[in-house]
A = this chain, B = another copy of it.
Amino acid sequence: MKQPDIGQSPMARARGRRPGAASTREDIIEEARRQFGEFGYRRTTMRGIARGAGVDPRMILHFFGSKQELFAATIEVPFEPEAAFEALFAGGAVGIGQRIAEFILSVLDDPRGQRTATSVIRAAVSEPEAAALVRVFLTQRMLLPLARRVSHDHAELRASLIGAQVVGLIMARYVVALKPLSAATHEDLVLALTPVFEYYLFGDLAAATALGH
Protein backbone atom coordinates (compact mmCIF):
# COMPACT_ATOMS: atom_id res chain seq x y z
CA MET A 1 0.00 0.00 0.00
CA LYS A 2 2.75 2.41 0.95
CA GLN A 3 5.12 3.39 -1.79
CA PRO A 4 8.11 1.16 -1.21
CA ASP A 5 10.81 3.23 0.45
CA ILE A 6 10.45 6.11 -1.98
CA GLY A 7 10.21 9.59 -0.63
CA GLN A 8 11.69 8.52 2.67
CA SER A 9 14.69 10.74 2.07
CA PRO A 10 14.13 13.28 -0.69
CA MET A 11 17.88 13.72 -1.22
CA ALA A 12 18.57 10.00 -1.52
CA ARG A 13 20.12 9.38 -4.88
CA ALA A 14 19.38 6.19 -6.67
CA ARG A 15 21.93 3.49 -6.33
CA GLY A 16 23.81 1.82 -9.09
CA ARG A 17 25.96 2.99 -11.91
CA ARG A 18 25.60 6.56 -13.10
CA PRO A 19 24.86 7.15 -16.78
CA GLY A 20 27.35 9.02 -18.89
CA ALA A 21 31.10 9.33 -18.62
CA ALA A 22 32.45 8.56 -15.16
CA SER A 23 35.09 11.04 -14.00
CA THR A 24 34.85 9.81 -10.44
CA ARG A 25 38.35 8.40 -10.25
CA GLU A 26 39.96 11.55 -11.57
CA ASP A 27 37.77 13.75 -9.37
CA ILE A 28 38.97 11.82 -6.34
CA ILE A 29 42.64 12.12 -7.28
CA GLU A 30 42.27 15.81 -7.99
CA GLU A 31 40.57 16.53 -4.68
CA ALA A 32 42.98 14.28 -2.80
CA ARG A 33 45.93 16.22 -4.24
CA ARG A 34 44.43 19.45 -3.01
CA GLN A 35 43.65 18.22 0.46
CA PHE A 36 46.86 16.29 1.06
CA GLY A 37 48.73 19.40 -0.06
CA GLU A 38 46.73 21.74 2.12
CA PHE A 39 46.13 19.68 5.26
CA GLY A 40 48.80 17.00 5.24
CA TYR A 41 48.29 13.27 5.40
CA ARG A 42 46.93 12.95 8.90
CA ARG A 43 44.38 15.71 8.86
CA THR A 44 43.10 14.72 5.45
CA THR A 45 40.23 12.23 5.76
CA MET A 46 38.64 9.91 3.26
CA ARG A 47 35.28 11.40 4.07
CA GLY A 48 36.61 14.90 3.54
CA ILE A 49 38.01 14.02 0.15
CA ALA A 50 34.76 12.30 -0.79
CA ARG A 51 32.77 15.34 0.28
CA GLY A 52 35.02 17.69 -1.68
CA ALA A 53 34.82 15.50 -4.76
CA GLY A 54 31.05 15.09 -4.45
CA VAL A 55 31.36 11.35 -4.22
CA ASP A 56 30.43 8.54 -1.88
CA PRO A 57 33.34 7.72 0.51
CA ARG A 58 33.10 4.10 -0.52
CA MET A 59 34.28 5.00 -4.04
CA ILE A 60 37.74 5.85 -2.72
CA LEU A 61 38.23 2.40 -1.31
CA HIS A 62 36.69 0.95 -4.43
CA PHE A 63 39.23 2.60 -6.70
CA PHE A 64 42.30 2.85 -4.50
CA GLY A 65 42.00 0.23 -1.78
CA SER A 66 43.30 2.29 1.13
CA LYS A 67 44.27 5.77 2.20
CA GLN A 68 47.96 5.02 1.74
CA GLU A 69 47.48 3.81 -1.81
CA LEU A 70 45.40 6.86 -2.58
CA PHE A 71 48.18 9.07 -1.28
CA ALA A 72 50.74 7.23 -3.38
CA ALA A 73 48.53 7.75 -6.43
CA THR A 74 48.47 11.52 -5.87
CA ILE A 75 52.22 11.97 -6.01
CA GLU A 76 53.44 13.24 -9.34
CA VAL A 77 56.93 14.59 -9.83
CA PRO A 78 56.52 17.08 -12.66
CA PHE A 79 60.02 16.50 -14.04
CA GLU A 80 62.58 13.78 -14.46
CA PRO A 81 65.36 14.68 -12.01
CA GLU A 82 68.31 13.19 -13.87
CA ALA A 83 67.24 14.62 -17.21
CA ALA A 84 66.55 17.97 -15.61
CA PHE A 85 70.01 18.10 -14.02
CA GLU A 86 71.62 17.11 -17.28
CA ALA A 87 69.89 19.95 -19.07
CA LEU A 88 70.76 22.40 -16.31
CA PHE A 89 74.43 21.50 -16.30
CA ALA A 90 74.67 21.27 -20.08
CA GLY A 91 75.24 25.03 -20.25
CA GLY A 92 78.47 24.77 -18.29
CA ALA A 93 79.40 26.19 -14.94
CA VAL A 94 78.71 29.79 -15.87
CA GLY A 95 75.29 30.81 -14.68
CA ILE A 96 74.52 27.36 -13.26
CA GLY A 97 73.34 28.79 -9.95
CA GLN A 98 70.86 31.03 -11.66
CA ARG A 99 69.56 28.24 -13.86
CA ILE A 100 69.04 26.00 -10.85
CA ALA A 101 67.25 28.77 -8.98
CA GLU A 102 65.09 29.51 -12.02
CA PHE A 103 64.23 25.86 -12.41
CA ILE A 104 63.31 25.30 -8.76
CA LEU A 105 61.24 28.45 -8.57
CA SER A 106 59.43 27.61 -11.80
CA VAL A 107 58.55 24.17 -10.48
CA LEU A 108 57.18 25.80 -7.33
CA ASP A 109 55.26 28.39 -9.34
CA ASP A 110 53.38 25.61 -11.06
CA PRO A 111 50.39 24.65 -8.89
CA ARG A 112 51.04 20.96 -9.45
CA GLY A 113 54.66 21.20 -8.42
CA GLN A 114 53.81 23.33 -5.43
CA ARG A 115 51.09 20.98 -4.24
CA THR A 116 53.27 17.95 -4.66
CA ALA A 117 56.11 19.59 -2.77
CA THR A 118 54.00 20.71 0.18
CA SER A 119 52.10 17.45 0.20
CA VAL A 120 55.27 15.37 0.36
CA ILE A 121 56.85 17.56 3.01
CA ARG A 122 53.76 17.51 5.17
CA ALA A 123 53.50 13.76 4.87
CA ALA A 124 57.17 13.35 5.76
CA VAL A 125 56.59 15.33 8.92
CA SER A 126 53.54 13.41 10.10
CA GLU A 127 54.18 9.86 8.87
CA PRO A 128 57.43 8.03 9.56
CA GLU A 129 56.90 5.75 6.57
CA ALA A 130 56.47 8.76 4.34
CA ALA A 131 59.60 10.29 5.85
CA ALA A 132 61.54 7.15 4.95
CA LEU A 133 60.19 7.27 1.39
CA VAL A 134 61.09 10.93 1.11
CA ARG A 135 64.56 10.29 2.43
CA VAL A 136 65.17 7.55 -0.13
CA PHE A 137 63.65 9.47 -3.01
CA LEU A 138 65.43 12.70 -2.16
CA THR A 139 68.73 10.95 -1.70
CA GLN A 140 68.66 8.53 -4.62
CA ARG A 141 66.78 10.51 -7.22
CA MET A 142 67.65 14.10 -6.41
CA LEU A 143 70.69 14.64 -4.23
CA LEU A 144 72.98 11.88 -5.52
CA PRO A 145 72.37 12.73 -9.20
CA LEU A 146 73.00 16.33 -8.30
CA ALA A 147 76.10 15.45 -6.33
CA ARG A 148 77.40 13.38 -9.23
CA ARG A 149 77.55 16.51 -11.34
CA VAL A 150 79.41 18.42 -8.65
CA SER A 151 83.01 17.42 -9.13
CA HIS A 152 84.14 18.83 -5.83
CA ASP A 153 84.86 17.70 -2.33
CA HIS A 154 81.90 16.99 -0.06
CA ALA A 155 79.64 16.57 -3.08
CA GLU A 156 76.85 14.95 -1.08
CA LEU A 157 77.03 17.53 1.66
CA ARG A 158 76.81 20.25 -0.97
CA ALA A 159 73.74 18.69 -2.56
CA SER A 160 72.13 18.25 0.86
CA LEU A 161 72.71 21.88 1.78
CA ILE A 162 70.93 22.92 -1.41
CA GLY A 163 68.13 20.51 -0.61
CA ALA A 164 67.85 21.93 2.90
CA GLN A 165 67.66 25.48 1.57
CA VAL A 166 64.92 24.47 -0.86
CA VAL A 167 62.94 22.64 1.79
CA GLY A 168 63.26 25.63 4.09
CA LEU A 169 62.04 27.89 1.33
CA ILE A 170 58.98 25.71 0.78
CA MET A 171 58.26 25.57 4.49
CA ALA A 172 58.64 29.30 4.99
CA ARG A 173 56.80 30.27 1.84
CA TYR A 174 53.90 27.84 1.68
CA VAL A 175 53.52 26.13 5.04
CA VAL A 176 54.19 28.86 7.58
CA ALA A 177 53.58 31.64 5.05
CA LEU A 178 56.26 34.05 6.22
CA LYS A 179 55.20 37.27 4.58
CA PRO A 180 58.53 38.52 3.21
CA LEU A 181 59.03 35.23 1.42
CA SER A 182 55.49 34.53 0.28
CA ALA A 183 55.24 38.08 -1.03
CA ALA A 184 58.61 38.07 -2.77
CA THR A 185 58.49 37.73 -6.53
CA HIS A 186 59.93 34.90 -8.52
CA GLU A 187 62.66 37.23 -9.79
CA ASP A 188 63.61 38.53 -6.34
CA LEU A 189 64.07 35.02 -5.05
CA VAL A 190 66.06 33.89 -8.06
CA LEU A 191 68.43 36.78 -7.53
CA ALA A 192 68.70 36.17 -3.81
CA LEU A 193 69.25 32.41 -4.05
CA THR A 194 71.58 32.26 -7.05
CA PRO A 195 74.77 33.15 -5.16
CA VAL A 196 73.90 30.72 -2.39
CA PHE A 197 73.45 27.82 -4.79
CA GLU A 198 76.71 28.64 -6.55
CA TYR A 199 78.50 28.79 -3.24
CA TYR A 200 77.07 25.47 -2.14
CA LEU A 201 78.06 23.95 -5.48
CA PHE A 202 81.54 25.34 -5.95
CA GLY A 203 82.53 27.40 -2.90
CA ASP A 204 85.15 26.50 -0.36
CA LEU A 205 83.06 25.03 2.42
CA ALA A 206 85.98 24.87 4.81
CA ALA A 207 86.96 28.51 4.61
CA ALA A 208 84.67 31.14 5.99
CA THR A 209 85.27 33.67 3.27
CA ALA A 210 83.07 36.65 2.69
CA LEU A 211 80.52 36.00 -0.02
CA GLY A 212 79.91 39.15 -1.92
CA HIS A 213 79.02 42.49 -0.54
Residues of A within 8 A of B (CB): 40, 42-43, 97-98, 121-122, 124-126, 131, 134-135, 138-139, 143, 154, 156-157, 159-161, 163-169, 171-173, 175-181, 184, 188, 190-192, 194-196, 198-200, 202-213
Contacts and interface: CB of A to CB of B under 8 A. Distances in A.
A198 B177 contact: no
A8 B212 CA distance: 76
Q: Within the oligomer, what is the number of copies of this chain?
A: 2
19 contacts: A97-B208, A122-B125, A131-B175, A154-B180, A157-B180, A166-B168, A167-B168, A167-B176, A168-B171, A191-B207, A195-B199, A195-B203, A196-B196, A196-B199, A196-B200, A199-B211, A199-B212, A203-B212, A212-B212
Contacts of A175: 124-125, 131
A195 B202 CA distance: 13
A188 B40 contact: no
A192 B157 contact: yes
Given A42-B126, A195-B203, 17 more contacts: A98-B208, A124-B175, A125-B175, A138-B176, A143-B178, A157-B184, A157-B188, A159-B180, A160-B172, A160-B180, A163-B168, A168-B171, A188-B205, A190-B208, A203-B211, A207-B212, A212-B212
A164 B156 contact: no
A164 B166 CA distance: 9
B156 A180 contact: yes
A164 B161 CA distance: 12
Contacts of A198: 210-211
A75 to B, nearest CB: 16
Contacts of A179: 139, 156, 160
A205 B178 contact: no
A192 B206 CA distance: 7
Interface centre among A125, A134, A175 (most CB of B within 10 A): A125
B176 A171 contact: no
